Chains A and B, each alone.
Chain A
Amino acid sequence: MDNSSDKNEQEGKYKPSRRELIKLVSAAGAGALVGGASNSAMAASNGGVSSQTFSLFEKKYETIDDMYDISKDIRRFDQKYTALMRGMWDEEVRPSTISYGAKKSGMVPFAQEGTPGYSMVDWALHWAAMAGTNTCAPLANLGVRGAGNYNDWSRHANPTFKRQTFEDKAEISKKVKRAARFLGASLAGIAPYDERWTYRKWFDIDPSMMDVKSMEIQHDKMRETEGVFPFKPKSVIALAFEMDYNALQAPGFISGAAPALAYSDMPEVAFKVAEFLNLLGYKSIPTGNDTGMSVPIAVQAGLGELSRMGLLITKKYGPRVRLAKVYTDLELEYDKPTGFGVWEFCKRCKKCAEICPSGAINIDRDPTVKSSTGSKSNNPGVKKWFQRQERCMLQFDRNGGTGCSYCITACPYNKLDTWIHDTAKLLTGMPVGRDIARQLDDAFGYGKKTAEAAEAFWNKED
Chain B
Amino acid sequence: MTTTGILFFLLLGGLVFFAFGRIISFTKSRKSEMRFLVLLYLSIFLIGFGLAWCYTSFLENEPRAAYMGLIVFCGLGLVLGFVGLWNMMDSETAAVDQVPDELSRAISWKKAVAAVLLALFAITLPATWLFKSATGIVSDREQVSSYLGEKILSDKALPGVIKKGLEYEAWLTRIEEPLMSRIVKSAISGIEPESMLELFGYIAPEKERLAMLNDATTALYDWIEGENTYPSLTLQTGVYLNNIESNAENLVLWMFKNFPIPGCGSVQIGELEQGVYGNDLKKLISCIPPESLQKKIAPIAAALLNAQLAENSPPQVVDVGAKMKETAPVKKITTAKLHLNRVLFAGSAIWLIPVALLLIGLGLVVRSGKELAVWLAWPFFITGLLGLFIGSRLPGLSFLHSVPHEAEVPGAVVGIGRKIGIDLAVMLESAMFTPFLILAVAGGVMLVITRREKIMSMAVRMRLSLGLVFGKQAV
Contact = CB atoms under 8 A, between A and B. Distances in A.
A398 B171 contact: yes
A355 B185 CA distance: 25
Contacts of B62: 444-446
A53 interface: no
A227 interface: no
Contact of B170 (A93, A98, A398): A398
B16 A444 contact: no
Contacts of A420: 52-53, 56-57, 69
Interface stretch (B161-169, B221-229, B270-278, B319-327): B161-169
Given A34-B17, A357-B404, A398-B172, A95 B60 contact: no
A416 interface: yes
Interface string A43-71: 01000000000000000000000000000
A15 to B, nearest CB: 27
A37 interface: yes
A38 B9 contact: yes
A39 interface: yes
A452 to B, nearest CB: 8
A11 B56 CA distance: 35
Contacts of B5: 38, 41-42
Contacts of A246: 61
B310 interface: no
Contacts of B167: 111-112, 115
Interface string B3-45: 0011011101110110000000000000000000000000001
Interface in B171-198: 171-175, 177-179, 182-183, 185-187, 189-190
Contacts of A450: 401
A72 interface: no
A443 interface: yes
Contact of B175 (A42, A215, A391, A453): A391
Nearest to A41: B56
Residue of A39, A44, A357, A398 with highest tally of chain B CB at under 10 A: A398
A112 to B, nearest CB: 6
B46 to A, nearest CB: 10
A122 interface: no
A108 B88 CA distance: 71
Interface in A98-113: 98-99, 102-103, 108-113
- Looking at chain B's contact residues, the main secondary structure is helix
B76 interface: no
Nearest to A43: B1
A32 B171 contact: no
Given A445-B64, A445-B65, A448-B401, A109 B189 contact: yes
A94 B189 contact: no
A108 B190 contact: yes
Contacts of A448: 401
B425 interface: no
B49 interface: yes
A38 B45 CA distance: 16
Nearest to A406: B403
Contact of A37 (B52, B69, B406): B52
B190 A98 contact: no
Contacts of A398: 170-173
B405 interface: yes
Interface in A323-372: 355, 357-359
A33 B68 CA distance: 18
A367 to B, nearest CB: 23
Contacts of B190: 108-110, 113
Interface residues of B, number: 54
A390 interface: yes
Contact of A39 (B1, B16, B63, B185): B1
Contacts of A39: 1
Contacts of B182: 95, 99, 397
B185 to A, nearest CB: 8
Contacts of B60: 44, 245, 416, 418
B16 A33 contact: yes
Given A92-B175, A111-B170, A215-B179, A36 B13 contact: yes
Given A38-B5, A95-B177, A111-B170, A102 B64 contact: no
A293 B185 CA distance: 36
B171 A357 contact: yes
A312 B60 CA distance: 23
B59 interface: yes
A36 B10 CA distance: 8
B361 interface: no
Contact of B406 (A103, A359, A460): A359
Residue of B14, B175, B189, B406 with highest tally of chain A CB at under 10 A: B175
B443 interface: no
A419 interface: yes
B402 to A, nearest CB: 9
Interface string A440-462: 00011110111011001100100
Contacts of A394: 173-175
B126 interface: no
Contacts of B55: 41
A359 B405 contact: yes
A278 interface: no
B231 interface: no
A111 B166 contact: yes
A405 B63 CA distance: 21
A296 interface: no
B48 interface: yes
B56 A418 contact: yes
A201 to B, nearest CB: 25
Interface string A413-456: 00010111000000000000000000000011110111011001
Contacts of A453: 61
B172 A446 contact: no
A404 B19 CA distance: 48
B183 A35 contact: no
A33 B13 contact: yes
B260 interface: yes
A416 to B, nearest CB: 5
Contact of A103 (B9, B17, B186): B186
Nearest to A451: B401
A33 B401 contact: no
A460 B61 contact: yes
Contact of B68 (A113, A400, A443): A443
Contacts of B12: 33-34
A36 B332 CA distance: 72
Nearest to A390: B175
A44 B64 CA distance: 19
B202 to A, nearest CB: 22
Contacts of A34: 9, 12-13, 16-17
Interface string B358-402: 000000000000000000000000000000000000000000010
B433 to A, nearest CB: 24
Nearest to B1: A42
Given A108-B187, A357-B404, A400-B170, A94 B49 contact: no
In the complex, the 10 A-B pairs of residues with the closest C-beta atoms, listed nearest first:
A109-B190, A445-B64, A34-B13, A38-B9, A111-B189, A95-B179, A111-B170, A111-B167, A108-B186, A444-B65
Given A95-B182, A109-B260, 17 more contacts: A33-B48, A33-B49, A37-B9, A95-B177, A95-B178, A98-B179, A102-B183, A111-B186, A357-B403, A359-B405, A398-B170, A398-B171, A406-B403, A418-B60, A446-B62, A450-B401, A452-B63
6 contacts: A34-B9, A36-B13, A37-B9, A41-B5, A115-B167, A249-B61
